[in-house]
Amino acid sequence: MPLTPNDIENHKFDVRMRGYDRVQVNRFLGTIAEESASLIAQKRLLEEERVDLRQQLERGAEREKKVQDTILALRELTEKMKDDARREGELIVRESRFMASKILEEARFEAVKIEGQIGQLRMERDTFDDRLRMLLDEHQRLLIQRRQDSDVHAPLEFRARVAVEQ
């Protein structure tokens, strides 16, 4: 059991002949008691300081763990964001390719449709040209015939006019 300053100060020695000087022994015991009290107080202060330092160390360790956890969470979040961005980019590319192929398909369909319309218009133009040629040929034939008829009938008409005048 540890000695307290009171134990030291109140400790009584048996008195014997030719023993130590009581006053000196009592003073020495008082000095030891004071020193012991000072050491005990210092020990208490050091123990409190040790406890405070231990708590600070534990709080620091907790903060460090939180910081490490936060860093880890940020890394995971960053990786997730990168993965999400990559997936979104791939999706945009796929959608763009799909839309481009759809636009190309529509353009090809429209080109085929326009080519068909052009072919149809060419056929109509050719038909129109043929009919116009036929009409012009018929008209020319009629004009030629009219001239021929007019050459044949002109002397008759002249005679008829001369006869009427006479």
Q: Which of 15, 11, 45 is nearest to 30 (CA)?
A: 11
CB neighbour burial string for 128-165, b if at least 16 within 10 angstroms, e if fewer: eeeeeeeeeeeeeeeeeeeeeeeeeeeeeeeeeeeeee
Both tokens of 109, joined, read 């369909």
How far is it, in rounded angstroms, from Cα 151 to Cα 139?
A: 18
**Which pLDDT score is estimated for 1?**
58
Enter the pTM of the model.
Answer: 0.44
| Chain centre to alpha carbon of residue 54 | 46
Give CA–CA dist 149/166, Å, rounded. Answer: 26
| Confidence (pLDDT) at 119 | 95
Q: What is the pLDDT of residue 7?
A: 76
* pLDDT by residue, tens only, the chain of 166 residues: 577 777 777 777 777 777 777 788 888 888 888 888 899 899 999 999 999 999 999 999 999 999 999 999 999 999 999 999 999 999 999 999 999 999 999 999 999 999 999 999 999 999 999 999 999 999 999 999 988 887 766 555 655 665 666 6
